[in-house]
Chain A
Amino acid sequence: MAKIIGIDLGTTFSAIAELDDLGNPEVLSNPDNNSKITPSVVYIGKNDKVFVGDKAKDAAIAEPNRVAMEVKREMENEVVFDPSKGEFIEGKKSSKNYTPSQISSLILSKLKDYASGVKKVVITVPAMFAEKARSATMDAAKLAGMDVLELINEPTAAILHYANLPGVTVSGRVLVFDLGGGTFDVTIAKVQGKTVDVITSRGDKYLGGTDFDREIVKILCEKYKKEKGSSLKETDKKLLDIAEKLKRVLSAKDKASEVMDGPKGPLKVEITRAQFEKSIQLYLEKIKMLIEETLDAAKCNHQQIGQTLLVGGSTRIPCVIELVKKIMKKAPTKGVNVDEAVACGAAIYAGLLSKKDLNAAQKKSLNKVELEDVCNHYLGTLIVVKDEERNLHGIANKIIIERDTKLPCSKTVELQTLVDDQEVIECSVTQSEGPEKDQEFVTIIHQSDLALPKGRPAGQPLEVTYSYDKSGSIHCEFLDVKSKKKYEVDLKPEGSKTIQDLKDNLDFTIE
């Protein structure tokens, strides 16, 4: 029988969970060290040797340039990992560098080895992941030899897990606060028993534990300079490692110290919790604003939130917990494993999507589980409009599907041709986090032309219809009403490339 698998492909740590015979999710351990979480770190040796996880982290000490970290943050960017520089750079793919999808596929391949017979999976992504990043994640799975049933948003997976915990009865609005290694998501959902109805999500793809580590690195560098009069390289991966260790200690103690090496010799540096908290103040303020924004979008206040659920390793930081308490005016709910909840939720969702593969006990366990999700971005098209205030015609973004619209949904807007004898219309599909009018502030995720019949006056009716289904597929139709000519496109997060295109120089043995 096929395994029911969910994967949390994180920025700093990843985890894989399986639905056991009774329908309960269980996180699988790395057979090498019995750890349930695997660092999302990849070492690519000169001799094509690849290490993933803790071994890769260890390798960073000797050969830091050959270690790729935080690849998730690069998933939507046109970059490649260059082992000669030790970073992601803008440039073309060659036999000497690696795309983010290729690096991610190595992490997925490693996780795949924790269980036998892993084929169909659900992978989690941040709620704010754009189409391009979702597509790149699908490419990575394809390369790792996995069939992705669907991608699911991380906070949604976490809440699904929470609603399914034995002995937990939830009724009302729940806020999921997901602060991981690299991303932050906050989601509000209505939960009734095992039915999860997502209302809205907000987040930031560049806010997480690694950002806090970098702030500690800055403090370390300042202290070293002050004491030794010499500068350290802030991007040094060894320093980041020390910073992470210090951060972990500071979550439990008021101060922490480490000895670090530098050009002017070693130095023992001590950092207090107060210093650390001051250094991440801007991030905390950002988190606060994102929570406020999410409450506004869900049209509710803190009093109307029944429970707050903390997910992600960075929610262990005391000042983060305090901040949540301060905003929500009550302590967050305990009892959820912050590192495992997302992978477990993904496994439950995988079970929901493969009901025919479930045994009787699993079916019974998932019997009442239901999930309703929303569109996490605004989807629109570019049109020409008149700015009445400036008395000027210009290109503007016309929103077709509003953010937070319940899925599945279908919306049509009526437009018209602009000029006499117009022979073509540009069919563009845009995505944005805000209700942007300006084309500079939206991402064009698809663009094509529709040829129109010749010799017609301006003002011919056009209809643009977008349909968004639960699996994340967007069907876009641009229709010239009178001639019935139309342009249609399906935008699916199914990966954009063939296995051959993706594989390229990637044929490594993973250890």
Chain B
Amino acid sequence: MEGWVIWLLVIGGIFVFNLINKDSEEKEYQEKRDSISPFKIKVTKTTLPKDYNLGSLPCFHIELKGWVNHPTDEEIKFDLLIKDVSEDENGEEKLTFFVSPQSNLTEGTSRVFRFSRTYKTTPDGFFENYITFLHLPMQYLGQPFKGKRKLRFYLVGTDVNVQSEYGTYSDAESQIRHYSSKDISHTFSEVGFMENLLNRDEIEKVSIQVALAIAAVDGNLDQKELNEIKKWSNLTTFGLDEDQAKEKKKNLTKFIKESYEKAKAKKLSLSTLLGEMNDKALKEQKYELIDLLLKVVGADDTLSKEEDKMLVSIVKKLDIDQNTFNEMKNKTLAVIGKIETSASSESGEELLGLSKDMTNAEKCKELRKLFSKWNGQTNSTNKKIKSRAQEMIKLISKLRSKYNC
């Protein structure tokens, strides 16, 4: 009898202990739940981690923590949207979305920057500590404006099937389950797409004037050079409707005519024009200009010393990548009939991109590289390229003798 009572007491004790213990676990869990912060985004500026194997690119590190629960579904989707919310001169926020020019992260045709990630969740799902949502290389962002800007990063949690349109949600109240934003100050050195849109016509006009200036630099602005500029101007009307295109062509014709007179009279200030390009043009527009200039200098089948000198100076002032320019220039040089620059070794150095601050050894190294490039073309089946290559090899050989390479 006594043994039976003892057993009963033991079992009862265990039951009571478990009951008390369960209560404390639940209490502990409840305390933890209460301590979980609401859904939160964190954005820091850093460099891309090594395991991306993309070098140390500057990037935004976007993290999240807190509640990511969903009452019914097992998954939840988070959209990252980025807006430029800098205040304008009137103290009002300019709400412009960023775009993703170097990736496919576009939303419909509106090209809004959006990046989504889906997480497994439960009605009680949360991240106690910050987890990485995305390392976003800064160069992947197409900024609306250059300069110091206020960026707002949004993380929006929705049902998996909800899609934002133009960065907004059709029924925000019912669709958005979690939401957090963070403002970051950042300075962009490149021109933004919005200001470029506003400045496009101006950039085109500046490009035309720079082209006219280079065409006139040798004192002989001829019809062939002018035709290249006209051809290029015509292309700027691509995509416009018939009336708009007609109107634009009319305006540009007038503008070219006026600028032609200024160019002939040497009244175009190259430094002002290039200053405007640097201030307002996108990098690709600068390359478009270089492409136009190469067409213009090659139009009369002669590259004059003055044209080459001006070209080199423009490339320097526009901070154009030298290798890319060399590739573009070589293509033009290959088919030009006459290069005045190659006649003297001093101007030949400029033509080949040898600068005065290079040592003889550096010049020899560069000449060897150029020799490899052009010697292959001395066997070209294209007669013009072949003959140009032979001339370039002569110039390279002449300079190599000069430097005792």
Take A77-B381, A441-B380 as given contacts and tell me if A293 and B394 are in contact as well, using a CB distance cutoff of 8 Å: no
Alpha-carbon distance A438/B401, docked complex (angstroms): 30
Alpha-carbon distance A210/B206, docked complex (angstroms): 53
Which of B334, B368, B380 is close to A289, meaning CB atoms less than 8 Å apart? B368
Take A390-B284, A390-B287, A391-B101 as given contacts and tell me if A440 and B334 are in contact as well, using a CB distance cutoff of 8 Å: yes
Closest beta carbon of chain B to A437's beta carbon, Å: 8
Q: Which residue of chain B is the closest to A129 with respect to CB atoms?
A: B379
Whether A130 lies near B376 (C-beta < 8 A) is: no
B321 / chain A contacts, CB cutoff of 8 Å: 389
Which of A130, A286, A389, A437 is close to B379, meaning CB atoms less than 8 Å apart? A130
A231 / chain B contacts, CB cutoff of 8 Å: none
Closest beta carbon of chain B to A117's beta carbon, Å: 37
In chain B between 348 and 398, which residues have their CB closer than 8 angstroms to a CB of chain A?
368, 371-373, 375-382, 385, 390, 393-394, 396-398
A281 / chain B contacts, CB cutoff of 8 Å: 397, 401
Alpha-carbon distance A289/B376, docked complex (angstroms): 13
Alpha-carbon distance A286/B392, docked complex (angstroms): 11
In chain B between 315 and 335, which residues have their CB closer than 8 angstroms to a CB of chain A?
321, 324, 327, 330-331, 334
Closest beta carbon of chain B to A11's beta carbon, Å: 14
- The winner among A204, A281, A286 for most chain B CB atoms within 10 A is A286
Which of A132, A289, A434 is close to B397, meaning CB atoms less than 8 Å apart? A289
In chain A between 100 and 129, which residues have their CB closer than 8 angstroms to a CB of chain B?
128
Whether A289 lies near B381 (C-beta < 8 A) is: no
A436 contacts partner chain B, Cβ-Cβ < 8 Å = yes
0 or 1 for each of A279-296: is its CB under 8 Å from B? (1 = yes): 001100110111011000
Alpha-carbon distance A128/B380, docked complex (angstroms): 12
A205 contacts partner chain B, Cβ-Cβ < 8 Å = yes
Take A432-B376, A434-B373, A441-B385 as given contacts and tell me if A391 and B284 are in contact as well, using a CB distance cutoff of 8 Å: yes
Alpha-carbon distance A281/B334, docked complex (angstroms): 24
B101 / chain A contacts, CB cutoff of 8 Å: 391
Whether A438 lies near B331 (C-beta < 8 A) is: yes
B393 / chain A contacts, CB cutoff of 8 Å: 286
B262 contacts partner chain A, Cβ-Cβ < 8 Å = no
In chain B between 151 and 201, which residues have their CB closer than 8 angstroms to a CB of chain A?
none
Take A205-B379, A290-B375 as given contacts and tell me if A441 and B334 are in contact as well, using a CB distance cutoff of 8 Å: yes
B149 contacts partner chain A, Cβ-Cβ < 8 Å = no
Whether B283 lies near A441 (C-beta < 8 A) is: no
Alpha-carbon distance A440/B394, docked complex (angstroms): 21
Alpha-carbon distance A400/B379, docked complex (angstroms): 21
0 or 1 for each of A376-406: is its CB under 8 Å from B? (1 = yes): 0000000000011111100000000000000
A206 contacts partner chain B, Cβ-Cβ < 8 Å = yes
A286 / chain B contacts, CB cutoff of 8 Å: 375, 393, 397
A130 / chain B contacts, CB cutoff of 8 Å: 379, 381
Closest beta carbon of chain B to A134's beta carbon, Å: 13
Alpha-carbon distance A388/B103, docked complex (angstroms): 12
A440 / chain B contacts, CB cutoff of 8 Å: 331, 334, 382, 385
0 or 1 for each of A435-477: is its CB under 8 Å from B? (1 = yes): 0111011010000000000000000000000000000000000
Closest beta carbon of chain B to A404's beta carbon, Å: 13
Alpha-carbon distance A132/B284, docked complex (angstroms): 39
Closest beta carbon of chain A to B352's beta carbon, Å: 14
B378 / chain A contacts, CB cutoff of 8 Å: 204-206
B400 contacts partner chain A, Cβ-Cβ < 8 Å = yes
Alpha-carbon distance A288/B365, docked complex (angstroms): 14
Closest beta carbon of chain B to A284's beta carbon, Å: 9
Whether A441 lies near B376 (C-beta < 8 A) is: yes
Closest beta carbon of chain B to A297's beta carbon, Å: 9
Which of A288, A391, A441 is close to B377, meaning CB atoms less than 8 Å apart? A441
B394 / chain A contacts, CB cutoff of 8 Å: 282
Alpha-carbon distance A166/B119, docked complex (angstroms): 78
B interface secondary structure, majority: helix
A292 / chain B contacts, CB cutoff of 8 Å: 368
Alpha-carbon distance A333/B388, docked complex (angstroms): 37
In chain A between 256 and 307, which residues have their CB closer than 8 angstroms to a CB of chain B?
281-282, 285-286, 288-290, 292-293
Q: Which residue of chain A is the closest to B379 with respect to CB atoms?
A: A205
A433 contacts partner chain B, Cβ-Cβ < 8 Å = yes
B379 / chain A contacts, CB cutoff of 8 Å: 128, 130, 204-206, 433
A290 / chain B contacts, CB cutoff of 8 Å: 375
Take A132-B381, A206-B378, A436-B376 as given contacts and tell me if A391 and B283 are in contact as well, using a CB distance cutoff of 8 Å: yes
B377 / chain A contacts, CB cutoff of 8 Å: 441
0 or 1 for each of A190-206: is its CB under 8 Å from B? (1 = yes): 00000000000000111
Q: Which residue of chain A is the closest to B328 with respect to CB atoms?
A: A390
Alpha-carbon distance A334/B189, docked complex (angstroms): 65
Which of A204, A282, A392 is close to B375, meaning CB atoms less than 8 Å apart? A204
Whether B381 lies near A443 (C-beta < 8 A) is: yes
A437 / chain B contacts, CB cutoff of 8 Å: 327
Alpha-carbon distance A280/B373, docked complex (angstroms): 22
In chain B between 285 and 322, which residues have their CB closer than 8 angstroms to a CB of chain A?
287, 321
A289 / chain B contacts, CB cutoff of 8 Å: 368, 371, 375, 396-397, 400
0 or 1 for each of A202-214: is its CB under 8 Å from B? (1 = yes): 0011100000000
In chain B between 33 and 48, which residues have their CB closer than 8 angstroms to a CB of chain A?
none
Whether B324 lies near A293 (C-beta < 8 A) is: no
Alpha-carbon distance A76/B379, docked complex (angstroms): 10
Closest beta carbon of chain A to B372's beta carbon, Å: 6
Closest beta carbon of chain B to A78's beta carbon, Å: 8
Whether B376 lies near A293 (C-beta < 8 A) is: no
Alpha-carbon distance A388/B102, docked complex (angstroms): 9
Whether B372 lies near A438 (C-beta < 8 A) is: no
Q: Which residue of chain B is the closest to A433 with respect to CB atoms?
A: B376
Which of B102, B284, B385, B397 is close to A392, meaning CB atoms less than 8 Å apart? B284
B331 / chain A contacts, CB cutoff of 8 Å: 438, 440
Q: Which residue of chain A is the closest to B397 with respect to CB atoms?
A: A285
0 or 1 for each of B45-82: is its CB under 8 Å from A? (1 = yes): 00000000000000000000000000000000000000
Whether B375 lies near A285 (C-beta < 8 A) is: no
Which of B372, B397, B400, B401 is close to A293, meaning CB atoms less than 8 Å apart? B372
A441 / chain B contacts, CB cutoff of 8 Å: 334, 376-377, 380, 385
Closest beta carbon of chain B to A198's beta carbon, Å: 19
Q: Apart from A130-B379, A206-B378, A391-B287, what 10 extra A-B contacts exist at CB < 8 Å?
A: A76-B381, A130-B381, A285-B401, A286-B393, A289-B397, A391-B282, A433-B375, A433-B379, A440-B331, A443-B380
- Chain B residues close to A by CB (< 8 Å): 101-102, 282-284, 287, 321, 324, 327, 330-331, 334, 368, 371-373, 375-382, 385, 390, 393-394, 396-398, 400-401
- Give 6 CB contacts A-B under 8 Å: A128-B379, A204-B378, A285-B398, A286-B375, A293-B371, A433-B376
